[in-house]
Chain A
Amino acid sequence: MKEPQRLRRPVPRRTRPNRSILGALSQSDGLPPIADPVDGPEAGGMHPLGPGFGDAAEADFAADPLSDSAREYIDRNVRSASDLIDGQIRQGEETAKSLGRSAFSSLNGAASDLPALLTGLVRAYSDIGTAWVDIVGALAQKAETAVPGTVNGSRNAADMPMIGLSVVAGQPVEASLELFRPAQRLTVQPLVATPPGNAADIREVSFEPDGSGAGGRIRIVVPGGQAVGMYHGLLLADPEGTPAGAVTLKILTLPEDERGRS
């Protein structure tokens, strides 16, 4: 008589919890509505592009009544699909990790060196006076072709706006500018000390467009006696107000005495 086969456990689908924030289907949290919802002015009004846009299609889609069993079927199956995609995502991550790198690393190393490269290009020491530096919008391209040490801007690609950085300081400073995207007009946020300490913000910041309408100069005036340290200021593209870049200022040592105002 044939011996019955020894029973084995089923192979587990997974053995670890799925802890990602995207791990559950419905991100609606069941919270009570917040008492003071801070909506923008267009909330509750007509879509700015007029009727026919916005949520009409979605509303129709959502308004269809579903039976309970249908809803339950959908919930269950969509949840299962959701588990599935998470599993796939994780497999992708794990494969990449096992290969010893992020799935999408490539030039990450080089890219993060660009700001450093630019900082080197832009270094300015001054007692009294200004340092005026050209920085081109298409950074990557510039870094490819630039000769290290060249400070004044070379020919940049046509159509790229030129953004300049002008720093007036009575102390040695290092300034750098990083643009995420080309922008023609900018608003400069006050430079805030990082990490926050007792240092006051550097508020004399401005952007002066040049006559052409494309590009201009960022101007920063560092008050005398400003504390040593790092400061960051965000650059917002006009008029959308979306971040377009950041300016970093490092103040190196305090002045020996109180002279050097400009």
Chain B
Amino acid sequence: MNFSAIDPVSAVLDEYGAMTRKIMAGYLPEGQPKQHLYDPVADYPSRGGKMMRPSLCIATAKAFGAATEDALKTAASIEMLHNALLIHDDIEDESESRRGGPTLHALHGTPIALNAGDALAMLSLRPLLDNIRDAGPWISLRIIEEMERMARESAEGQALELGWRKDADQNVTQDDYLVMVLKKTCWLAAIYPCRVGAMLGKRSDIPADAFMRFGFFVGAAFQIHDDVLNLQATDAYGKEICGDLLEAKRTLMLIDVPQHMSPAENLRLNRFLKCSREERNHEDVDWLLAMMKRSGSIERAQMMARGLAGAALHEFTLLFGNLPESRDKAFIRGLVTWVFQRSS
């Protein structure tokens, strides 16, 4: 059944996603070394994905007056960088599967996957350099500067999270979590695509803090919602997998739940956090999940995500309010709440 008619967001994602993929393919080299570099490099991009980031970039650019073609290279660059970071994330998380297949390092081993990730990140610069011909040197350089900022923020966010994982004793607060999400996720997912999209559309610079609030609220809402979904995903037997709990990933729920547990329960939690991943077992995970449900941590996280999405809608009005109505504007607005209407 074709849901596109009722779900305009999916339709736009499909369309812009396809266009982006086409351009991206042109930037994935086909030479040597093929087996150990360029095939792995092309792997994740070929597996699909929501293409939310490049679509947001294109839609913002168009909403501000650009033509679709003007934004495609930048969109391709974003998606390439996103995939490069996914490769690294999967290695750091020691994940086993990604988008319906084994992770890259599971397939090729960590050294090759790491190298492929690096290469893909570097390759993502190429389309931005080609922008100079189309959009002019001034805007292209600005976009590259924005990319540098975004990459730096992402790295800082990732470092924060890795640091917490390394040091189970560290007390992580809700604010700490939000700062980490801002840096690690929101910049790449929303702030950067919107900023460069707006620059492409307006063909001019934008204020230093433009889209930061919108991008933060949207990205954080998505991330928190994602974290909640992780606790709800089930395997073939209907059993909850809770990969994040096994990881002891610092989510809002994990930060919240200690405040609602007895000292004895907190002791058990601390022991769980201090173990290595192999030492943690499913009993503990089930117990922790039950604690979270009992204390309402999951519900509160969901409310938080909703609240942030509401805030994002507000910011949307401030940023896009004066622009003419268009499919792109509707898409961006719809994107804010779209993730809540889907369960994956």
Contact = CB atoms under 8 A, between A and B. Distances in A.
Contact of A103 (B149, B213, B333): B149
Interface residues of A, number: 50
A43 B203 CA distance: 29
Interface stretch (A45-53, A185-193, A227-235): A45-53
Contacts of B300: 73
Interface in A45-80: 47-49, 52-54, 57-58, 60-62, 70, 73-75, 77-78, 80
B330 interface: yes
A78 B341 contact: no
Contacts of A49: 325, 327, 330
Contact of A22 (B174, B205, B213, B309): B213
Interface stretch (B112-120, B137-145, B161-169, B243-251): B137-145
A64 to B, nearest CB: 8
B175 A107 contact: no
Contacts of A47: 325, 330
Interface string B51-73: 00000000000000100000000
Nearest to A244: B65
A47 B327 CA distance: 10
Interface in B290-344: 300, 303-304, 306-311, 313-314, 317-318, 324-325, 327, 330, 333-334, 337-338, 340-341
B27 interface: no
B77 to A, nearest CB: 18
A147 interface: no
A156 to B, nearest CB: 13
B202 A110 contact: no
Contacts of A80: 174-175
Given A96-B208, A181-B65, A42 B325 contact: yes
Nearest to A90: B209
A107 B137 contact: yes
B6 interface: yes
27 contacts: A22-B209, A26-B314, A42-B325, A47-B325, A49-B325, A57-B333, A75-B307, A77-B303, A78-B311, A80-B175, A81-B220, A82-B213, A82-B311, A84-B175, A84-B178, A84-B179, A85-B212, A88-B179, A88-B212, A93-B208, A96-B208, A103-B208, A106-B145, A139-B136, A141-B137, A144-B137, A180-B203
Interface of A: 22, 25-27, 42, 47-49, 52-54, 57-58, 60-62, 70, 73-75, 77-78, 80-82, 84-86, 88-89, 92-93, 96, 102-104, 106-108, 110-111, 138-141, 144, 180-181, 240, 242
